[in-house]
Amino acid sequence: MFIDETTVKVRAGDGGRGCASFRREKYEPWGGPNGGDGGKGGDVVLRGDDDQNNLIDFKFKPHWNGERGEHGLGKDCNGREGRPAILRVPLGTVAYNVATGEVVAEILEDHQEFVLCKGGKGGFGNTKFKSSVNRSPRKTGPGEPGETGIYRLELKSIADIGLVGFPNAGKSSLTNLITNARPKTAPYPFTTLHPQIGIIDYAEDYDRVIMADIPGLIAGASDGKGLGHRFLKHLERCKLLLIILDMAGTDTRDPRDDYKQLLKELELYDPALLDKPRLVAANKMDEDSAVVNLKKFAKRYAKVEIIPISCLTEVGIPKLKKEILKRVKKMRPKEKKSPKAKAGVV
């Protein structure tokens, strides 16, 4: 099961109570106050974890509580801090506060932490209430309650490029061919039911590009047809969209209409997706009908650059891989070089 949206109810630990106690020893029957403070309650923390790839853990365990801080003890012993509740989330997780709808955190790196709810402070022991006028206070502080909240967690995968296409266009075949991911491929629609993230390894360039294969889109996806727009959020972080067209028209559709429909569905989900750079790959070029269709397509979309490929014969695949790297490199934020490095000193 792949879960990319879920709600959690969290509660940080309460602070421990302060202690009222007095020093009592042999020959010291009226010693001063020595009650320790209560410990702080455990926080509820989101932590990025590279090994997680979906939010399934939180679907089955939606309640997370930080531990209560221990109460203070006599002999000036402070209570132990409560252990935090750590929610290990996949990279790309966004947390929304359900009450306000605000984004409270975005976890993008391994081990990145964000405190969702703070544990309550521990109460003071009676030692802290000692003053010049009250040498033996019995007063202690109660621990503060821990914060609570309901948060929606949403996973928006981190990938450089996202595949967009109708079912059966060959998205998963391409993913199998050029990345380390092995999604299932089959001649029926909706073989891929959830996003699959793969890495394209460019060993000769010492580089790698992350690609997301997402379930196919069909006309009317905005109205919930097929798998609808459910998985389009995984395209939001992509630098480049790779549109895969079944140029052979195997499912008796016209690739020209497919292209138009795909762009329309992207726009209906979020017009910002159309601002992302796109690359169009015409797949199944090994079939005769594809050659004819490609001519027609090129005529209608004269300005669109198309890379003809075949996942079966691997024609055009090296060119596509190169083009992907070239475009992704362009989109990466440039590293600022120090003036010394520029001058070649270091």
Ligand X SMILES: Nc1nc2c(ncn2[C@@H]2O[C@H](COP(=O)(O)OP(=O)(O)OP(=O)(O)O)[C@@H](O)[C@H]2O)c(=O)[nH]1
Compare residues 97 and 191 and give the one whose CB is closer to Mg ion. Answer: 191
Residue 78 CB neighbours (<10 A): 21
- In this structure, the dihedral spanned by the alpha carbons of residues 167, 169, 170 and 172, taken in order and rounded to 10 degrees, is -30
The conformational region for residue 98 under phi > 0 = left, psi -120 to 50 = alpha, else beta, is alpha
Tracing tokens 């209409």 back to the chain, one arrives at 257
- Name the nearest CA neighbour of 119 among 152, 79, 73, 59: 79
In which order are the strands placed within the sheet that holds 85-89?
A: 85-89, 44-48, 113-117
Compare residues 74 and 189 and give the one whose CB is closer to ligand X. Answer: 189
Residue 78 interacts, among Mg ion, ligand X, none and using kind-specific CB cut-offs from 5 to 8 Å, with none
One-letter identity of residue 312: L
Residue 34 interacts, among Mg ion, ligand X, none and using kind-specific CB cut-offs from 5 to 8 Å, with none
- Whether the CB-CB separation of 10 and 153 falls below 8 Å is answered with no
Task: Enumerate residues 280-339 that contact ligand X by CB under 6 A.
Answer: 283-284, 286-287, 310-312
Tell the smallest beta-carbon distance from residue 6 to ligand X (Å).
24
- Whether the CB-CB separation of 20 and 105 falls below 8 Å is answered with no
Compare residues 127 and 185 and give the one whose CB is closer to ligand X. Answer: 185
Residue 287 interacts, among Mg ion, ligand X, none and using kind-specific CB cut-offs from 5 to 8 Å, with ligand X
Tell the smallest beta-carbon distance from residue 324 to ligand X (Å).
17
Rounded CA separation 230/224 (Å): 8
Among 172, 179, 196, 293, binds ligand X (CB under 6 A): 172
What's phi and psi for 335, nearest 5 deg? -80, 135
The conformational region for residue 111 under phi > 0 = left, psi -120 to 50 = alpha, else beta, is left
Residue 6 interacts, among Mg ion, ligand X, none and using kind-specific CB cut-offs from 5 to 8 Å, with none
Distance of CA 253 to the CA centre of its chain: 35
Compare residues 129 and 166 and give the one whose CB is closer to Mg ion. Answer: 166
**167 lies in the binding site for ligand X (CB under 6 A):** yes
Q: Which range in 24-32, 85-93, 100-108, 165-173 contacts ligand X by CB under 6 A?
A: 165-173
Residue 57 interacts, among Mg ion, ligand X, none and using kind-specific CB cut-offs from 5 to 8 Å, with none
Q: What DSSP designation does 127 have?
A: G
Tell the smallest beta-carbon distance from residue 175 to ligand X (Å).
8
One-letter identity of residue 313: T
Rounded CA separation 197/30 (Å): 70
Compare residues 148 and 313 and give the one whose CB is closer to ligand X. Answer: 313
Among 171, 234, 278, 327, binds ligand X (CB under 6 A): 171
Nearest residue relative to ligand X (C-beta): 216
**179 lies in the binding site for ligand X (CB under 6 A):** no
Partnered with residue 115 across adjacent β-strands are 45
Compare residues 48 and 167 and give the one whose CB is closer to ligand X. Answer: 167
Compare residues 91 and 311 and give the one whose CB is closer to Mg ion. Answer: 311
Rounded CA separation 281/321 (Å): 11
Q: Which range in 100-108, 260-268, 279-287, 331-339 contacts ligand X by CB under 6 A?
A: 279-287
**2 lies in the binding site for ligand X (CB under 6 A):** no
Binding region for Mg ion (CB under 5 A): 171-172, 191-192
Structure-token pair, residue 69:
């801080």
Among 82, 92, 141, 215, binds ligand X (CB under 6 A): 215
**216 lies in the binding site for ligand X (CB under 6 A):** yes
Residue 140 interacts, among ligand X, Mg ion, none and using kind-specific CB cut-offs from 5 to 8 Å, with none
Residue 167 interacts, among Mg ion, ligand X, none and using kind-specific CB cut-offs from 5 to 8 Å, with ligand X
Q: Kindly calculate the radius of gyration of the chain based on its CA atoms and give it in whole angstroms.
A: 29
Q: What's the distance, Cα to Cα, between the start and end of the chain in Å? A: 51
Q: Can you give the binding site for ligand X, defined by CB under 6 A?
A: 165, 167-173, 185-187, 189-192, 215-216, 283-284, 286-287, 310-312
